[in-house]
């Protein structure tokens, strides 16, 4: 069984969209990037900030970014 991969994303609070800021990686590597970006969780670490970083499983689909086809409705 392969190791689960994670990704660090940035929520752009102005446009309310998520952007990938890392490639899929181990949970430990993702945590290191998140710690670096958020100054160990003291800045831009949750939704109280306009822009903030979060860690997700790499296969998480952000629904706002999905473009539905007419026949799927």
- For the residues 33-42, what does the mean pLDDT come to? 97
C-alpha 53/C-alpha 38 separation (Å) is 7
Are 21 and 36 spatial neighbours (Cβ–Cβ below 8 Å)?
Answer: no
- For the residues 33-58, what does the mean pLDDT come to? 95
Q: Whole-model pTM?
A: 0.80
Q: Where are the domains of the chain?
A: 6-67
The predicted structure's pLDDT at residue 47: 84
Any bridge partners for residue 59, and if so which? Answer: none
pLDDT, mean over the chain:
88
């Amino acid at each position: 069984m392969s190791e689960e991969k994670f990704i660090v994303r940035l929520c752009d609070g102005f446009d309310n969209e998520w952007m990938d800021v890392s490639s899929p990686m181990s949970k430990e590597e993702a945590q290191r990037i998140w710690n670096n970006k958020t100054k160990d969780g003291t800045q831009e670490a949750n939704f109280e900030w306009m822009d903030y970083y979060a860690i997700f499983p790499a296969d998480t689909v952000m629904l706002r970014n999905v473009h539905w086809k007419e026949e799927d409705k």
